[in-house]
Structure 1
Amino acid sequence: MSAATPVAVPDNYPALVDRAARLFGGSEAIRDGDMSMTFAELAERSEACAAALVANGLQPGDAVGLWAPNAWEWVVAAMGTLRAGGVIVPVNTRFRGREAAYVLSRARVKLLFTVVGFLGYDYVADLEAASSDGHTIDSLERTVILRGDTPPGTTSFDEFVAAATPDGFAEAARRAAAAAGDDLGLVMFTSGTTGLPKGVMIRPASIIRSFSQYADELGMRAGDRMLVINPFFHAFGFCGSITPCIVKGATILPHPVFEVEAVLERIQSERVTVLPGPPAIFQSMVNSAGLDRYDTSSLRSAITGAAAIPVETVVAMRERLGFETVITAFGMTETHGLATICSAGDPPELVASTSGKALAGIELRVVDDDGHDVTAGEPGELLVRGYCVTTGYLDDPEQTAKTIDSDGWLHTGDICVMNELGYIDITDRKKDMYINGGFNVYPAEVENVMSEHPLIGQVAVIGVPDERLGEVGAAFVVPSPAGAPEADALRAWCREQMANYKVPRHFWNVEALPLNPSNKVLKTDLRELAAERLGAELAG
């Protein structure tokens, strides 16, 4: 086969990793600190992990949790799980014990890969504390520690992999050969307006097809080096970073926590060429006082999304950071992370003002409240149909039917405008969800947790604009008869109960919440009140 002959991209991960081992075997697949792994070694380590899973009794279709920050072990554990026929259940690293326990229990996770010590958290202790409060995980049989100390009852990753047997390798190989793109590969949890997380069923074929086109638009090629700040547990991390790197033979550079100076240092020292991320990351880099101290000339391609991006930022990314290609995209967990994308040659104004047009093979509609198509330039709800749409929510046919209609159209809940070229501009949300630094926040979920506080009688949460993060939460609190909560104390309590990005920035006590005749909170009124209060704070 000549070097110019294209090699077909398979539709499942075991075959994709094997293909990478053949095509890019000696090239660097992952660099994480002092650890460097080639694509051939990635395949070998994935095989060993799969064999160990088989030896530990994992059956095809069993769920495996991954609650850990970006690290090489995450990639190996994920690829090993898929090779063994398991289903990956990524867990948000910012979740506290009760939140993680709900996800793990709902997905009936049998084995959990996690860490001890990330950002000072002990996830194992968090789960034990949650269990003592009634949040048990009856399905969980074993916990494997990828990094950190191994508490009693857990196993280190090295010890776990070392237990692989010849029979385990043989069975894992059989399962890998039988893998199909339409198998259930992942269950990614996303919250909804009910406040309870829903497990979105994800198929490998849909991810690989979408993000192969994404990699093409970015101009990715063998030898590229992608700094992955997007969390692996998120579609932007797993689908939008790990996948295109394996497809194109690019090096994955895991980065667990965003800190602008550390990122600029890695761009310089690691010669990063490709960088995906939400606008807040690029805005922080462009606005960094220390930017000129770093060499960012290696940067070539960037993709952003998950929040609006000013045209000035796109221009600055090209002029100050040195990107040749800057594109935007739109997706959601229910579309396997991607539905629309810009083209590499699109001008900055189009990149900043739209989220691109439909991927090949995907259909879009923009409809009014009655389900009728609106004319170009008019706002309406975005509907998506095609291979990227999930088959539904795990064990939740009712919610699936509410989201995906009988004709296969996914009702995104996002309000957008489509131009004559088919490019969409997301202008608003039909639901109350807002985006904080690239993370979806669902007010109902935050409200449900905050309602447990003894000093809160009622609470309503909305998103308000923030220059750096796009949006942050604002909580309107009606105090309970026991007294009014103090903002700093309430903020500290919330941080103990939920992921940091869900914790509201603003806490305002009010006598009552505005209600409509049906006794539903008028959040439009709250947005007006928030604007007044924020304006007063700035004036003060």
Structure 2
Amino acid sequence: MSGMSQANLMGQILKEMAEAAPDAPAYYFYGREISFKEMDDLSDKLAYGFLKEGILRGDRIGIIALNQPEWLAVYFAAAKIGAAVVGLSPRHPAPELLKLVQRSRPRAVVSLKNVGDTDYVELLEQNKSKVKGLEFCYFIGGEGANGCKSLESLMEEEPDQELLAAAYAQVEPEDEIMFAFTSGTTGQPKAAAITHKSQIASARAQTKHVRVTSKDVLMLTSPLSHVGGITIGMASMLLAGGPTILLPVFLPEEVLNQAAEYHPTIIGGFPTTHHMLMAHEGFDKMDVSNIRVIITGGSNAEPDLVERLHRAYPESTIMNLYGLSESSGGALMTPWNCHYTMVGRTVGKPFPGFDVKIVGLDGRELPVNETGEVWLKGDCVVTGYFDMPEETAKTFDQTGWLRTGDMAYKDEEGFIILMGRRTEMYIQEGLNVFPVEVEDILSTHPAVDMVAGIGIPDPVYGEVGRYYVVPNPGSETNEDELRSFCIQSLADYKVPKQIVFRQDLPMTALGKIKKSDLRREFENTGK
């Protein structure tokens, strides 16, 4: 296949790849090589199975699974008949996962039978009546009780191609393809309605920017239930015709093992996953000679992290990516000629065709170097949140702009410098402080492994910054030393009033620091 697919439906892109390069590897999964044609045939059978069950265009299919071929088969099958998947990560505790199922109201759920100690057969069968509209439960690898079928049973028959073609003819680019829950780092997660059009727009722009080709191999460390896995990872590689290494969960040792077998050229991940990989005892033996691009995204890339990435991958280009569930994936990225020290302070510029502006509280666009909210516009922007009209109206305006909730400023060269979430800002000594500024400084201290800051009420100052620090193993420091360290680089009103040492920090299912839990913990205990 010459050039990138220009199809505007995800199922069509897969089919084009299956016809152009039928035997080319699309996915590697623990020694198993899955070609584009195999995935196309598999998803055709499953799409036909769904149709026979009565699942149709506009229905939602929840997926509780890890990064595995079955996840993608469900995703492509749903796309081919105009249904949409709902990404449901097994990393969520059972009660939290059940709430997401109830909130998204899928007509069907495809699930693993169990992960760890969680029995999903029992969870779904005991609570099926509590989920409005849920009719079908299918389990990967075997049947459930009460007539629940195995997923494999839906793929036993050869598909009726006329029936499939009739269903596919009804699918439109504006149809939803996936509902992705926001990460919920500062509040309750919302299900962003991603369409074929918005997902392909984001993936295509990223593929062009990163110059991905069929010769590239991606190490996928982010979950498929999140845009970091499905759009920034899988979809961008599909458009280029390159293979993706599927890891069920992120484990540094498994990344190293799979890298030794499949020789990735692109590795992407969240800052926490990059930290964990480089900290693994076997990382120094990893062959990095094939790796041409390292992508970090999902949360702020601290300067210290980028410095470490540069040392670890000296011949690779380090790129910072900015995207949200609401933008279907990536929307901004640092350019190729960006020095790694700049990557540590900016998320770059918008992809061609996407627009960004910085907006003040009065709704007016701000000039350079003034901090306001990041507004984003382009085909990548989703249609809204599922069944949340008020939240949708607050976040998406009628002219197509997405109010991201992120605070930033634009410098003279057009680079966007993130300052943190709007809800994270606090006022200390009468002046605005964004925790990310302080976190970036504290993270460079040799004794600091991880850090997260929040604003808390104070009877004297109104609000003060409270910073939770996880020390590096074997390191020693104290509050006075870290405060003195901050004084060297920060204005006096930004220096932390409180520093609390902890062994760990609460994390979301995606591996991001969950500041809402820190805030709730303080409110409940005062500690």
With the length of structure 1 as denominator, give the TM-score of the two structures. Answer: 0.77
Summarize the Cα distance change of 1:398–1:505 in structure 2 as closer, same or farther, 3 Å threshold.
closer
CA offset at residue 415 of structure 1?
A: 0.8
Alpha-carbon distance in structure 1 between the residues aligned to 2:422 and 2:81? 40
Instruction: Report the counterpart of residue 71 of structure 1 in structure 2.
Output: 68
Whether the 8 Å contact between 1:225 and 1:251 is mirrored in structure 2 is yes
CA offset at residue 283 of structure 1?
A: 2.2
Instruction: Report the counterpart of residue 141 of structure 1 in structure 2.
Output: 135
Alpha-carbon distance in structure 2 between the residues aligned to 1:174 and 1:240? 30
Alpha-carbon distance in structure 1 between the residues aligned to 2:404 and 2:68? 32
Whether the 8 Å contact between 2:45 and 2:155 is mirrored in structure 1 is yes
Q: Mean alpha-carbon deviation: is it higher for 116-125 or for 300-309? A: 116-125
**CA deviation string 1:189-226 (max 9, x = no partner):** 23779955422111111211221221222232103221
For residue 96 of structure 2, give the secondary structure of its aligned residue in structure 1: helix
For residue 369 of structure 2, give the secondary structure of its aligned residue in structure 1: coil
Instruction: Report the counterpart of residue 77 of structure 2 in structure 1.
Output: 80
Summarize the Cα distance change of 1:210–1:99 in structure 2 as closer, same or farther, 3 Å threshold.
same
Letter in 1 for 2:100: V
Whether the 8 Å contact between 1:265 and 1:294 is mirrored in structure 2 is no
Instruction: Report the counterpart of residue 389 of structure 1 in structure 2.
Output: 381
Q: Mean alpha-carbon deviation: is it higher for 233-242 or for 402-411? A: 402-411
Whether the 8 Å contact between 2:324 and 2:330 is mirrored in structure 1 is yes
For residue 78 of structure 1, give the secondary structure of its aligned residue in structure 2: helix
CA offset at residue 149 of structure 1?
A: 6.9
CA offset at residue 74 of structure 1?
A: 0.6
Does 2:171 match 1:174? no
CA offset at residue 354 of structure 1?
A: 0.6
Does 2:252 match 1:231? no
Whether the 8 Å contact between 2:143 and 2:149 is mirrored in structure 1 is no
Alpha-carbon distance in structure 2 between the residues aligned to 1:317 and 1:191? 24
CA offset at residue 322 of structure 1?
A: 4.8
CA offset at residue 179 of structure 1?
A: 2.6
Instruction: Report the counterpart of residue 113 of structure 1 in structure 2.
Output: 110
For residue 431 of structure 1, give the secondary structure of its aligned residue in structure 2: helix
Alpha-carbon distance in structure 1 between the residues aligned to 2:139 and 2:524? 48
CA offset at residue 38 of structure 1?
A: 0.7
Q: Where in structure 2 are the equivalents of 1:375-414 lying within 5 Å?
A: 375-414=367-406
**CA deviation string 1:390-433 (max 9, x = no partner):** 22122322221111223332211111121122211111211249
Does 2:414 match 1:422? yes
Summarize the Cα distance change of 1:286–1:129 in structure 2 as closer, same or farther, 3 Å threshold.
same
Alpha-carbon distance in structure 1 between the residues aligned to 2:390 and 2:135? 30
Partner of residue 156 from structure 1, selected from 135, 140, 150: 150
Summarize the Cα distance change of 1:394–1:511 in structure 2 as closer, same or farther, 3 Å threshold.
closer
With the length of structure 2 as denominator, give the TM-score of the two structures. Answer: 0.79
For residue 283 of structure 1, give the secondary structure of its aligned residue in structure 2: helix
Instruction: Report the counterpart of residue 449 of structure 2 in structure 1.
Output: none
Summarize the Cα distance change of 1:511–1:421 in structure 2 as closer, same or farther, 3 Å threshold.
closer
Instruction: Report the counterpart of residue 293 of structure 1 in structure 2.
Output: 285
CA offset at residue 56 of structure 1?
A: 0.8
CA offset at residue 130 of structure 1?
A: 4.8
Does 2:306 match 1:314? yes
RMSD: 3.3
Alpha-carbon distance in structure 2 between the residues aligned to 1:10 and 1:331? 23
**CA deviation string 1:240-290 (max 9, x = no partner):** 111011111111211122222221222112212211101222222333332
Q: Give structure 2 stretches of 5+ with no counterpart.
A: 426-434, 440-451, 455-465, 473-503
CA offset at residue 8 of structure 1?
A: 3.9
Q: Where in structure 2 are the equivalents of 1:411-490 lying within 5 Å?
A: 411-432=403-424, 464=468
Whether the 8 Å contact between 2:270 and 2:511 is mirrored in structure 1 is no
Does 2:97 match 1:100? yes
Letter in 1 for 2:401: W
Alpha-carbon distance in structure 2 between the residues aligned to 1:42 and 1:508? 45
Whether the 8 Å contact between 2:88 and 2:97 is mirrored in structure 1 is yes
Alpha-carbon distance in structure 1 between the residues aligned to 2:292 and 2:4? 25
Q: How many matched pairs?
A: 459
CA offset at residue 166 of structure 1?
A: 4.6
Summarize the Cα distance change of 1:403–1:160 in structure 2 as closer, same or farther, 3 Å threshold.
same
Alpha-carbon distance in structure 1 between the residues aligned to 2:247 and 2:309? 20
Summarize the Cα distance change of 1:509–1:343 in structure 2 as closer, same or farther, 3 Å threshold.
closer
Q: Where in structure 2 are the equivalents of 1:11-410 lying within 5 Å?
A: 11-130=8-127, 136-147=130-141, 150-151=144-145, 153-162=147-156, 164=157, 166-167=159-160, 169-190=161-182, 196-410=188-402
Summarize the Cα distance change of 1:38–1:511 in structure 2 as closer, same or farther, 3 Å threshold.
closer
Q: State, as a whole percentage, how many aligned pairs show the same letter.
A: 25
Instruction: Report the counterpart of residue 487 of structure 1 in structure 2.
Output: none
Whether the 8 Å contact between 1:302 and 1:323 is mirrored in structure 2 is no
CA offset at residue 122 of structure 1?
A: 1.7
CA offset at residue 312 of structure 1?
A: 4.3
Alpha-carbon distance in structure 1 between the residues aligned to 2:467 and 2:40? 44
Alpha-carbon distance in structure 1 between the residues aligned to 2:303 and 2:510? 34
Summarize the Cα distance change of 1:422–1:264 in structure 2 as closer, same or farther, 3 Å threshold.
same
Q: Mean alpha-carbon deviation: is it higher for 316-325 or for 419-428? A: 316-325
Summarize the Cα distance change of 1:499–1:425 in structure 2 as closer, same or farther, 3 Å threshold.
closer
**CA deviation string 1:509-536 (max 9, x = no partner):** 78986xxxxxxxxxxxxxxxx7xxxxxx
Summarize the Cα distance change of 1:55–1:499 in structure 2 as closer, same or farther, 3 Å threshold.
farther
For residue 295 of structure 2, give the secondary structure of its aligned residue in structure 1: strand
Alpha-carbon distance in structure 2 between the residues aligned to 1:183 and 1:498? 26
Summarize the Cα distance change of 1:367–1:238 in structure 2 as closer, same or farther, 3 Å threshold.
same
Whether the 8 Å contact between 1:219 and 1:301 is mirrored in structure 2 is no
For residue 330 of structure 2, give the secondary structure of its aligned residue in structure 1: coil
Letter in 2 for 1:157: L
For residue 113 of structure 1, give the secondary structure of its aligned residue in structure 2: strand
CA offset at residue 41 of structure 1?
A: 1.0
